[in-house]
Amino acid sequence: MTELPLSPDKMPSSRIITVDPSTVRPSLLNPRAKFQITEASVAGLATEIAAVGQINDAHGEFAADGTLEIFNGLRRAAACKLNGAKLRVRVHDEIDPAGALALAYRDDSEALAVSFWDLSTSWAGMVADQVLPSEAALARAIGVDKSTMSRALAFHNAPAEVLAAFSDRREISQSQWMDLAPLLENGDSRTRIIERAALLAGKGYGAVRVAAEFKAAAANKETIDKVEVRNRHGKLIGTIQPNHRGGFTISVKPMVEAHPSYRLDYAKIIHETFVQVIKTWFEREA
């Protein structure tokens, strides 16, 4: 372990050291604490560090057992480990949890976003460990509102059937979950969503499809499939998506490379199909 001198303007409670990255571990305050960082995901960063060195310090503190815990810079640690470099860490000897969280969650435009699932798991762990006195205090330290914190904790504790319907929970965006969370708080819609989730489990559907299924279930409606429009050779040239309010969205495949006469033919086929959809759609049962 090599310690570097600090410039005079640095706080005496922090110091910079270089360490073997294989000897550090994630701090529970780190938003990536439960996230598996793969070699492929940091390969580019490792190449950059090998070429120009580590630009930004990692931040951490020593735990009671003497292990250096990183609350900011886990991807840097993984990249240094990948290319055999030492990791430069600013160690904070007298930092409180709120201060550590402020560093862990500070804005970094170059950092890869942490999924809402990983954030919810991290926050739930901090609540369970009583890192700060209350959920509100934790939300303030991280820089989110109480509603976001509450929804995130609900995400972590969502029914197992609901979570199992998603092929990858990390694909679920914050906005998607914020839309679904109130539906799970209502008894009737919650029951319908769980019933729909049982039908979706193991299907491998992405987050967008599952979220749409859940919203339809909450509204006690079936999802509406797109109407595919194909040319005389069976090639897909467009789709018509009805919605529950009697509206339609028509999507047309790119036609830049198509012959001008084909473009007009495709437009006619799509128009004719749309007319047939209109004729039959409103005769469907509500």
Bridge partners for 242 per DSSP: 248
DSSP 23: G
Q: Which of 86-95, 103-112, 165-174, 188-197 has the lowest mean pLDDT?
A: 103-112
165, 197 Cβ separation under 8 angstroms: yes
Average pLDDT (226-239) is 89
Tell me the range of 83-97, 108-122, 259-273 where mean pLDDT is highest.
83-97
- In this prediction, residue 31 carries a pLDDT of 87
| DSSP element (H, E) containing 54 | none
- Model pTM score: 0.65
197, 183 Cβ separation under 8 angstroms: no
| Whole-number percent of the chain with pLDDT over 70 | 91
Distance CA 21, CA 33 (A): 15
Question: Could you report the per-residue pLDDT of 196-225, keeping only the tens digit for each?
Answer: 999 888 888 889 889 988 988 888 876 677
230 Cβ contact partners less than 8 Å away, ≥ 6 residues apart? 236, 237
DSSP 168: -
Which tokens belong to 157? Answer: 């504790």
Distance CA 119, CA 135 (A): 14
| Whole-number percent of the chain with pLDDT over 90 | 53
DSSP sequence for 74-104: HHHHHHHHHHTPPEEEEEESS--HHHHHHHH
Which tokens belong to 121? Answer: 């798991």
Which tokens belong to 201? Answer: 């489990």
Bridge partners for 16 per DSSP: 4, 90
Closest CA to 60 of 112, 24, 20, 34: 24
End-to-end CA distance of the chain: 70
13, 93 Cβ separation under 8 angstroms: yes
164, 197 Cβ separation under 8 angstroms: yes
Which tokens belong to 26? Answer: 């994630």
Question: What does the H/E/C string look like for 198-248?
Answer: HHHCCCCCCHHHHHHHHHHHHCCCCCCCCEEEECCCCCEEEEEEECCCCCE
Average pLDDT (66-78) is 93
Q: Where do the H-state alpha helices sit in the chain?
A: 39-52, 74-83, 97-104, 116-128, 135-142, 146-156, 160-164, 174-185, 187-200, 207-218, 260-281
Average pLDDT (107-130) is 82
Phi, psi of 224, rounded to the nearest 5 degrees:
-110, 120
- In this prediction, residue 244 carries a pLDDT of 60
